[in-house]
Structure 1
Amino acid sequence: MFQLLLSIYTACPVYPWLGGVWSWEAVVVKSSVFARSGSSAELSCSYSTHAAQGFTLEWRYAAPGSPAFQAKRVLYYNGHLYWVDSWESRMALVQNPPTSGVASVKILSVQPSDAGLYICDVTNPNDWSGSGQGLVNLTVLVPPSVPDCQLSGSTYMGNDVTLTCKSSQGVPAPIYSWSREKGAAPLPPTSMVEDQRSGSLMLTNLTAAFTGTYTCRASNDLGEAACNGDTAAVVGGVLMGVFLVVLLIMAVVIYLCCCYRKRAHQHTEKNELRWV
């Protein structure tokens, strides 16, 4: 019974969350690889079978979100090395030829488009127990790109508006923070709702105190980038609200003046008729 349980255990894979190394039978890989954009990244893969006649090594790649069975061939070795598409200029074998237990490859200059799942497939017809696959997930770390700042909502006094900030690139996902220019009077905390994950800043019940420059910063472990909100629209909206109020008051005053003059004129005409 003990020997049976032991054989079942050793045949099972070692999962990534148990130590970062994934193995299926005789193939062992490092399951998760992180590399900064522009740097090199080594995708580790080793095997224990002895390379003989018919031995083949294949690397395949699947973009993020694609299932493993749709992975496309990158490299194929069966006595001769074959690269697919443009991978030869960007990838190299760590051991060439890969016939001494090391099937690792190195990406020379990692780009964000290289992120995804890589499959190391070793096949030896003379030793099927030494054949197998290993899966490597490559994450490309990217500093935040310059975010896009936008404003939504009608910027009149008393209204609510939302400033949004979003970077098109950034791994890990950026954290967003909003700030005003130095020296600006602080706004009531109850008038601002900020979401650092989505990059939104809601301003409620606009008044003249909200005028100014709003800056959004997107940051992660690799760097930060910033953009300014469309504060002119906020300022213009608030001033437009004040302007409209002034116009309304002026219109009422003009109307009352016209009414007064008209009544005065009518009163004068009546007095003249009576005199005649």
Structure 2
Amino acid sequence: MWTNLLKTIILIGSLAGGVISMQVTCPEKMVNGTVGQSITLYCNYETSLPIADGLVIRWSFYTRQVPRPKLFYTYQMGNWFPSEVPEGKYEGTTAATAKNASIIIRNAETEDTGMYTCEVTNVPDVSGTISANVFAYIRGKPTKTTCIKQVENHEDYHWVFLSCSSKAMPPPTYEWQWKSSGGSYHDVEGEMNNRTGILNITNPMNMKTGIYRCTARNEMGEDVCDYEEKEDKETSSSSTASSTAIIIGVVIAIILLLVVTGVTVWFVLYKKKEEGKSTKTTAKSKSAGSYKAVAADSNYSTVASQEAFPSTINTTEVEVSEESAAYNKKTATPPPTERTSIELQV
């Protein structure tokens, strides 16, 4: 609607034969500042018509994060009106009297870095160069540094990311470190991107419990944020259960091994014992056989001796007969010579 109205005004002015032209300029194409300062964005304009209630000034802003210009400050009917910005963030000059459309940024922040566009119209003077640009570069050390953990679960892999971001100008570089409870910081394992602040821990098992610290740093200073990795109770319980199961399995395996070893040793000893008994029995049998053979030989030798040496027996018989004779002389009993002889022979 507003565009159509402007076109109508321009057409009317052209038909009337008037020369309508607006010239807007920004004398500084780039303005440098630091965080906390007040920064002035200069914008001047020239119009071929008297300044009236039709004068309108618009300031818009865009950055890489806000690629389309965003209107944030407007002058109309003698007053400035902010659009979706904190009250008192911007301050405009008295444009109606000085042909000056400049504004001041109070308490500048690094987020204020970007391209600003100053647009001026003075109905019906709406043609010509009605806008100009100025770039504001606000430097500051890293602030509002934040650390977050991100997890990506895929069918073939499982990744863990630690992401670090900070508000700073110029853009900071990032460094990740880790320490255990009560320890000191040292380099962390993983793939680190110093420009984006992303730490990629490709193996989740390398994600240790402790404190992960990100340091954002630029020429203006540095800032840190911490992320604490705590032990997962479910994982800990599962790990404990797994460890317990492993220990029980090892104990059972050891017991089974001892039982098998004991049975094997007992069987070997039993076998040896049985073999020993068998050997002793065989030895006894052989000894008994030998003894019988020896005894038989001995009896045979005795009989043979008696047969071979009869004189010995006769001598004995003579001695006994003599004793009997002597005895019989005393007792007047005939001596049992023949009986004695027979008994000795037996």
Give the TM interval when normalised to the shorter protein.
0.5 to 0.7
Mapped contact 1:57–1:103 kept (Cα < 8 A): no
**Cα distance 1:203–1:261, how it changes in 2: closer, same or farther (>3 A)?**
same
**Correspondence for 2:24:** 27
2:258 pairs with 1:258: no
Report the structure number with the largest CA radius of gyration: 2
Mapped contact 2:115–2:135 kept (Cα < 8 A): yes
**Cα distance 1:149–1:224, how it changes in 2: closer, same or farther (>3 A)?**
farther
Q: Which amino acid aligns with 2:251?
A: I
**Correspondence for 1:60:** 59
Mapped contact 2:22–2:45 kept (Cα < 8 A): no
Structure 2 CA distance, aligned partners of 1:81 and 1:184?
A: 56
Structure 2 CA distance, aligned partners of 1:73 and 1:256?
A: 76
2:192 pairs with 1:194: yes
Q: How does the TM-score come out when normalised to structure 2?
A: 0.48
Per-residue deviation, 1:222: 3.6
Per-residue deviation, 1:106: 0.8
Mapped contact 1:160–1:202 kept (Cα < 8 A): no
Mapped contact 1:141–1:171 kept (Cα < 8 A): yes
Per-residue deviation, 1:25: 7.4
> 1:176-204 CA deviation, whole Å, 9 max, x = no partner?
112355877878xxx64321123233567
Structure 2 CA distance, aligned partners of 1:67 and 1:186?
A: 41
Structure 1 CA distance, aligned partners of 2:72 and 2:195?
A: 37
Q: How does the TM-score come out when normalised to structure 1?
A: 0.57
**Correspondence for 1:174:** 172
> 1:90-129 CA deviation, whole Å, 9 max, x = no partner?
33234x2443343211122335665655432233458667
Structure 2 CA distance, aligned partners of 1:205 and 1:90?
A: 47
**Correspondence for 2:224:** 226
Instruction: Summarize the alignment of residues 69-218 of structure 1 with structure 2, pairs less than 5 Å apart.
Output: 71-72=70-71, 74-77=73-76, 80-84=78-82, 89-94=88-93, 96-110=94-108, 117-124=115-122, 132-138=130-136, 141=139, 143-150=142-149, 162=160, 164-167=162-165, 169-180=167-178, 192-202=190-200, 214-218=212-216
Structure 2 CA distance, aligned partners of 1:47 and 1:252?
A: 88
Structure richer in helix, relative to its length: 2
**Cα distance 1:160–1:216, how it changes in 2: closer, same or farther (>3 A)?**
farther
Q: What is the alpha-carbon root mean square deviation over aligned residues?
A: 4.9
**Cα distance 1:244–1:175, how it changes in 2: closer, same or farther (>3 A)?**
farther
**Correspondence for 2:275:** none
**Cα distance 1:259–1:215, how it changes in 2: closer, same or farther (>3 A)?**
same
Q: Which stretch of the first structure deviates more once superposed, 42-51 or 259-268?
A: 259-268
Secondary structure, in 3 states, of the residue corresponding to 2:256? Answer: helix
How many residues align structurally?
230
Structure 2 CA distance, aligned partners of 1:229 and 1:169?
A: 18
**Cα distance 1:102–1:144, how it changes in 2: closer, same or farther (>3 A)?**
same
> 1:128-163 CA deviation, whole Å, 9 max, x = no partner?
676521133445555232321537599xxxx99755
Point out where structure 2 has 5 or more consecutive residues left out of the alignment.
1-20, 271-346
Structure 1 CA distance, aligned partners of 2:39 and 2:250?
A: 75
**Cα distance 1:207–1:104, how it changes in 2: closer, same or farther (>3 A)?**
closer
Q: Which amino acid aligns with 2:222?
A: E
Mapped contact 1:124–1:131 kept (Cα < 8 A): no
Structure 2 CA distance, aligned partners of 1:153 and 1:45?
A: 49
